[in-house]
Amino acid sequence: MDLHLDPSSGLPAYRQLAAALAGEIRAGRLAVGARLPSERDMAESLKLSRTTVTAAFRELESQGLVRGHVGRGTVVLAQDLAASPDGLPWRQRASRLATPPDTRGPRPAEGADLIAFADGWLHPELHPRAQIAEALAAAQQDMSGLLAPAPILGLPILREGLARMLGARGVEVRPDEILVTGGAQQGLNVVARALISPGDAVLVESPTWHGAIRAFRAAGAEAAGVPMDREGVDPDALEDALIRLRPKLVYLIPSFHCPTGRVMGLERRRQVLALCAKFRTPVLESDVYGDIAIDGPRPPSLKSLDTAGLVIHQGSASKTVGSSLRIGWLAAPPGAMELLAAAKANLDLSSPTLPQAVLAEFLQAGALSGHLARFTAALRRRRDAMAQALARDCPALTFQAPEGGLYIWARLPPQASAADLQARAAALGLSIRAGDVFFPEGGQDRHIRLCFAAPHADRIAEGVARLGRALDEAMGAGGPAASGAGYAAV
Amino acid sequence: MDLHLDPSSGLPAYRQLAAALAGEIRAGRLAVGARLPSERDMAESLKLSRTTVTAAFRELESQGLVRGHVGRGTVVLAQDLAASPDGLPWRQRASRLATPPDTRGPRPAEGADLIAFADGWLHPELHPRAQIAEALAAAQQDMSGLLAPAPILGLPILREGLARMLGARGVEVRPDEILVTGGAQQGLNVVARALISPGDAVLVESPTWHGAIRAFRAAGAEAAGVPMDREGVDPDALEDALIRLRPKLVYLIPSFHCPTGRVMGLERRRQVLALCAKFRTPVLESDVYGDIAIDGPRPPSLKSLDTAGLVIHQGSASKTVGSSLRIGWLAAPPGAMELLAAAKANLDLSSPTLPQAVLAEFLQAGALSGHLARFTAALRRRRDAMAQALARDCPALTFQAPEGGLYIWARLPPQASAADLQARAAALGLSIRAGDVFFPEGGQDRHIRLCFAAPHADRIAEGVARLGRALDEAMGAGGPAASGAGYAAV
């Protein structure tokens, strides 16, 4: 071993010695299991103090390179830890309930090179920008209020506004029956944390929102899919699953369902509630899209039809007012509120005050109904533009234009693969969402979800034209596009 | 059975019939297991259409009152569901991992009748109110930015500001090695969700922050306490627990520990890191209080000493700038970031933009260091006032005034109970925190935690005087105060 220390380097001697020894270990000149010279021998041979050598050995130990054994001296360790620039092999340390990492990084913003149909975000022109700016200005009148942490359930003035809003939609709840959450996604986790134990079953529509599948799985649940027909979840299949799986929860998106856009009929809603009442099973209703009624009146929520106190109702400002606020809410039977509040406190104590104050002022100013009228009118034009372009440029796709929500759900011809089409579209500057993530049982490769709210309105036709070219390629190719190209499926 | 329907009531006949039958069931005149007359018989005897009776029976079924059986007719069900105004017995449905419900409701605000020592919130006078208002005004210059959802990792300008701030504290990380979380509490859940599977062990100091115990337990972990001495966690006990329990994670609060206020010594920090490196065990370091150095320089973080890539570092603006922003962060080795980002996306997709923009502007304006200087000076006066008052009015308490952080941790004399003292203090208009919640193993009733940041500075002496009276009562009483009085221990 040939160690050079440089007294003029300015580094403490123990650090220099540790670095020199670490270099020997990393280069393999000190093999795993090799014993370092004793501290005394090394101090003598290098003309260093014993303290310096002791400190150097401890430094190596803290780097996981060596380990001191009483009576055996200091031994070089296996290098799995030290050899990696990251230290630990983190992926091997992942929870077995962890979601597969999402390596997309920041969500792709639409730009010159990309038309975005993939994700359920609103194009900036759909935001009620002026009214939000006014609400923000109003909220600032009370800086003390903005600096005070909100209660666990959420800012009282927001819950009062939400209770009024829900009342106008047939959902009669008091402000203390509402819990403000970090978007609907956190609401899913609040309910899961309150009600789900590892090994429990949760019934979901198949397909359904993939974030729900992931939230339930992270709580240790089996998310079991129940098939749908045009009217929503199939009642016979639901009853069978309620009997077979004894689920702790049924999660449904009855209005403008994601990803299919379907609306559960009124009679079906009553049937489904009766089944869940019969089996004493709570229902988590996602009504995130209920206000986005493009063609007709808003469908009645399950909560407004619930006479048995079964339904936890979920809403969100993300798909209507703006997703940057990250505000959702749960409206629940009184007996469920303490469980939900405890879960929320456990997750993040409470939501930030400022966005809640902005949404509260927005509601108080009566800005919602006017915004929704403009918003759904703009979405009607977008949906029609996408549907017409699809009929023209993608005749091989099968779809039904939805009466509300943000998505067209389209079925591919038998010879095409959705994953392949997604990759080909990405290569042409179009993001779409292959449908397999929405199926709890997986293994589906025949659908794509297209969001008509995310792109600029003037680029919908061009996006669909790109999709048509990608589809032509996919159908002509007979094989998948080069894998790894473009936008990753998540 | 005597059913009266009123044709002039305006209610549909099926609803009237359902309500009448429900009344019979609820009153017990139709017993559990009783069979209703057949639909045909009832239609004939009441001179109603068969459709009306069918609809009424379905309504009852949706209320969980009856159930139709093919071949057996319609049977009255047990009333656990329908008899409760809440519908389901929600508590029985709680996850077995759920935190016990926190029934405190909104946190008690200090007021004429209450002096607040219990929780770790900042009194409004400690907020950098003017600088936050300026930061908010600056953030509003970019309404488009405020309306755009933030990436999963957090707003880039905030992560750049945090990377600079951490760099100045010896933690060299890039902005893409930082994840913005909803306060430190969400950060605990992000790490738990990324790394913990049900049944895993997590080592924590005993005592420790109870929100961490709860977050780890909610992920299915066993939170095992490791004893502390004056210098922090005991290294021999830590090594023993690393060997015995093979934990997936070690959670530590090395600087101004909550609840004890202790600071882990430099040598101890190196020992602890070396042990965790030896056993290849990740460390989650909470540095939430590190900036609140009242008497001397800021202690070096474990992350700044970590050469093995073991440490996930956690910080928060909640205990310094303001907790209403709900902004914390994790700074982690690159290999851990994808797991953490996936967990964050699963929990709530991303944090709201507006509070992140405000904190980013606050950091960019260079407001933090001046604020911390004023803040720690104010805390020094508060701590000294509390310590002096305790020495004078509560001589039976044993405590050491901390060199930083927000709390005094005091030990009661053997004859007193902390739960009893908390109840007696509440009756005198003082909130304190009995210490048992901080011990993962429970069963400790000898400590209280007193926050000197939460009350008005001028009321600290009065609060301690009330504590002294409560303590005199508790020591003289020889028995606990009337249970249920005042502020619940959570």
**pLDDT at B81 exceeding the cut of 70:** no
Widest Cα–Cα separation across chain B: 90
Q: What is the pLDDT, as a whole number, of residue B229? A: 96
**pLDDT at B489 exceeding the cut of 50:** no
Where do runs of H (alpha helix) occur along A11-168? 13-26, 39-46, 50-62, 80-83, 129-139, 143-147, 156-168
Pairing of strands A433-434, A447-451: antiparallel
Give the three-state DSSP class for B134: helix
What is the pLDDT confidence band of residue A1, given thresholds at 50, 70 and 90? Answer: low
What is the pLDDT confidence band of residue B485, given thresholds at 50, 70 and 90? Answer: very low
Widest Cα–Cα separation across chain A: 90
* Four-residue CA torsion sign, A209, A150, A158, A334: positive
DSSP string, A383-423: HHHHHHHHHHH-TT-EE---SBSSEEEEE--TT--HHHHHH
Best B76, B77, B90, B181 member to test A by mutation, with max A CBs in 10 Å, is: B90
A443 versus B267: the higher-pLDDT residue is B267
* Residue range A347-370: mean pLDDT, rounded: 97
Q: Starting from the edge strand earliest in sequence, which strands make up the sheet with B327-331, in order?
A: B178-182, B327-331, B311-316, B283-286, B249-252, B201-206, B222-229, B232-233
Q: Calculate the CA A348 to chain-centre distance.
A: 16
Residue B144 to residue A124, Cβ atoms within 8 A = yes
pLDDT digits (tens, 9 = 90+) for A158-172: 999 999 999 999 999
What is the pLDDT confidence band of residue A104, given thresholds at 50, 70 and 90? Answer: very low
Residues of chain A neighbouring B94 (CB-CB closer than 8 A): 194-195, 339
Q: What is the pLDDT, as a whole number, of residue B108? A: 56
* Residue range A264-285: mean pLDDT, rounded: 96
Residues of chain B neighbouring A144 (CB-CB closer than 8 A): 124
Q: Which residues pair with B468 in a beta bridge?
A: none
Give the one of A129, A308, A347 whose C-beta lies nearest to B63's C-beta.
A308
Q: What is the pLDDT, as a whole number, of residue B483? A: 43
Residues of chain B neighbouring A198 (CB-CB closer than 8 A): 97, 198, 220
Q: What is the pLDDT, as a whole number, of residue A483? A: 43
DSSP string, B249-273: EEEE--SS-TTT-----HHHHHHHH
What is the pLDDT confidence band of residue B228, given thresholds at 50, 70 and 90? Answer: very high
* Residue range B143-154: mean pLDDT, rounded: 94
Report whether A50 contacts A39 (CB < 8 A): yes
Residue B338 to residue A93, Cβ atoms within 8 A = no
Give the one of B90, B334, B355 whose C-beta lies nearest to A352's C-beta.
B355
In terms of Cβ atoms closer than 10 Å to its own Cβ (0-12, 13-18, 19+), residue A476 is exposed
**pLDDT at B281 exceeding the cut of 60:** yes
Q: What is the pLDDT, as a whole number, of residue B102? A: 52
pLDDT digits (tens, 9 = 90+) for B248-272: 999 999 999 999 999 999 999 999 9
Nearest CA of chain B to the CA of A388: how many Å?
29
Six token digits for residue B422: 């908390």
Give the three-state DSSP class for B179: strand
Cis-peptide into A207, omega within 30 deg: yes
**pLDDT at B186 exceeding the cut of 90:** yes
What is the pLDDT confidence band of residue B421, given thresholds at 50, 70 and 90? Answer: very high
Give the one of B101, B147, B306 whose C-beta lies nearest to A341's C-beta.
B101
Rg (chain A; Cα; Å): 29
Residues of chain B neighbouring A220 (CB-CB closer than 8 A): 198, 220
**pLDDT at B479 exceeding the cut of 70:** no
Percentage of chain B surpassing pLDDT 70? 93
Phi-psi region of A70 (alpha: psi -120 to 50; beta: other; left: phi over 0): beta
What is the interface pTM, i.e. ipTM, of the complex? 0.84
CA distance B87 to A311: 9
Report whether A90 contacts B335 (CB < 8 A): yes
Q: Searching chain B, which residue's CA lies closest to the CA of residue A338?
A: B101
φ/ψ of residue A322, rounded to 5: 170, 135
Q: What is the pLDDT, as a whole number, of residue A34? A: 83
Angle at which helix A367-393 crosses helix A353-364, to 10 degrees, equals: 100
The pTM of the full predicted model, rounded to 2 decimals, is 0.85
End-to-end CA distance of chain B: 51
In terms of Cβ atoms closer than 10 Å to its own Cβ (0-12, 13-18, 19+), residue B265 is middle
B221 versus A46: the higher-pLDDT residue is B221
Where do runs of H (alpha helix) occur along A246-292? 266-278
In terms of Cβ atoms closer than 10 Å to its own Cβ (0-12, 13-18, 19+), residue B8 is exposed
CA distance B256 to B262: 5
Give the three-state DSSP class for A490: coil
What is the pLDDT confidence band of residue B9, given thresholds at 50, 70 and 90? Answer: confident
Best B104, B344, B348 member to test A by mutation, with max A CBs in 10 Å, is: B348
